[in-house]
Amino acid sequence: MQPRAAIGRRLGDDCRRALYESYYINFTPAVPRPLLEELAAVTLESDSVAQISRVTDQYLNFASVEDDFFTLLLPQSYVRLHDPSSTDAVIESTIEQIVNGLFSAVVTLGAVPILRYQPKDGPAKAVAEQLGRRLHDQLKAHPHLFSEGQATGFQRPLLVIADRAADLSVMLQHCWTYAPLCHDLLGLRLNKVRLSETPADGGAPKEATYDLNGADSFWSEHMGSAFQEIGPDVERKLADYRAEMDDINKSGAKLTGRPTPPRSQTRRAHYAAR
C-alpha cells in the first residue's frame, strides 16, 4: 500500500476492532517515520499493537515488462512536467513519483549507480538531484539495501537521466516496429492486449485477453521487426496452424468414425489479431 496519511489511522482502527488475527503490512516504496509513529501510538492506545506481526518496506514502484525493460507506469508525466499550466505542486509530485520508481529499480538491482544528467535546469536535473539525495540518505540510514550487489562484486551501473524534450527525433518520427503497432492499435499494457471477439454462433461479442511476452514465440521473434514484414509471417503462421489442425481433425475422424468439431474460433482470432 501507499504510505498516505490516512493509512495509519485506518490500520489502527482495524486493529482496535480486531478484524484479523495478525497483520503483515507492506508499504511501497517505504513508510515514513511519522506515519510509523502514528500507527504505533494508535495501536498502543487500543492495546492492539501485538496484532501487528511485521511492517516491511517494499520497493516496487515499477513494472518489468521485459528482461531488460521496465516502466514506471506514469502516463502523461511528460505533459505534466512541460505543460505551462502545470502548478508547482503537480510538477513536484510527478518528480517525486519518478524518483520513487527509479529508486525502487535501483534497490532491486542491488547496486548504487553512477548518475549522469544534463547540467541545465529542467526535469532531468531535478529528478537526478533528488534521486542522488535519496541514495545518499538511504545509504547512511539503511546500507543493507545495497549489500547484495556489493557482496557479489557487482560493478556500478551507469544511469543517464535525460529530458525527453532533448530527443526531437522521438517526437518527429514513429518507430515502425511490431511492438509500437500493438501498443497504438490494441492498447498494449503490461504485456496484455484485450480484443473483442464475436462467437461463431453470432452471439454477443466477448472480450478475450492475450499475453504478449517471452512465452509467446511469435511475439519474441517479431516484436522488433518492421511491421510491413509482419503480414507475410502472420499468413505463414496461420497456414501452419491450419495444416496442423487439419491433421488433428483427420486423425480424430479416423479414431472416432465421425467428423470432429470445427477449429477453435478463439485461436484463429488470436492469430488474425496479430
Q: Render each residue's pLDDT in the chain as its tens digit; 274 residues.
A: 676 767 888 888 888 888 898 999 888 877 888 888 888 888 888 888 889 998 888 888 999 888 888 999 898 998 999 899 999 999 999 999 999 999 999 998 888 899 998 888 889 999 999 999 999 998 888 878 776 555 445 578 899 998 877 776 666 666 778 888 888 888 888 888 888 888 777 778 888 888 888 888 888 888 888 878 888 888 888 888 888 888 888 776 655 555 544 444 434 434 444 4
Grid-cell match 544528467, residue found: 117
Question: In what helix (H) or strand (E) does residue 248 lie, and over which residues does it extend?
Answer: helix 230-256
Q: Which of 57, 72, 96 is the last residue of a domain?
A: 57
Grid-cell match 503537480, residue found: 90
pLDDT of residue 31: 80
The strand ranges marked E within 58-154 are 63-66, 69-71, 114-117
- Say whether both 86 and 148 belong to one domain: yes
CA distances from 146 to 18, 27, 109, 149, 257 (A): 37, 19, 8, 6, 66
Q: Is 173 within a domain?
A: no
Q: Is 49 within a domain?
A: yes
Domain carrying residue 9? 5-57
Residue 189 DSSP symbol: B
- Say whether both 76 and 50 belong to one domain: no
- Say whether both 86 and 145 belong to one domain: yes
Provide the CA 179 distance to its chain's centre, in angstroms.
16
Residue 174 DSSP symbol: -
CA proximity to 59, closest of 110, 133, 129:
110
- Say whether both 263 and 188 belong to one domain: yes
Rounded to the nearest 5 percent, the helix, strand and coil shares of the chain are 55, 15, 30
pLDDT of residue 215: 84
- Following CA atoms 173, 176, 181, 183 in sequence, which dihedral angle do they give, to the nearest 10 degrees? -50
- Say whether both 69 and 154 belong to one domain: yes
- Say whether both 28 and 115 belong to one domain: no
SS3 category, 159: strand
Q: Tell me the three cell numbers of residue 246.
A: 487439419
- Say whether both 115 and 90 belong to one domain: yes
* Total domains in the fold of the chain: 3
**CATH code of the domain in which 150 resides:** 3.40.50.1910
Characterize the bridge pairing of strands 52-57 and 23-27.
Answer: parallel
Give 147: exposed, middle or buried? Use CB within 10 Å, 0-12, 13-18, 19+.
Answer: exposed
- Say whether both 205 and 269 belong to one domain: yes
Q: Is 10 within a domain?
A: yes
- Say whether both 67 and 31 belong to one domain: no
- For the entire predicted model, the pTM comes to 0.68
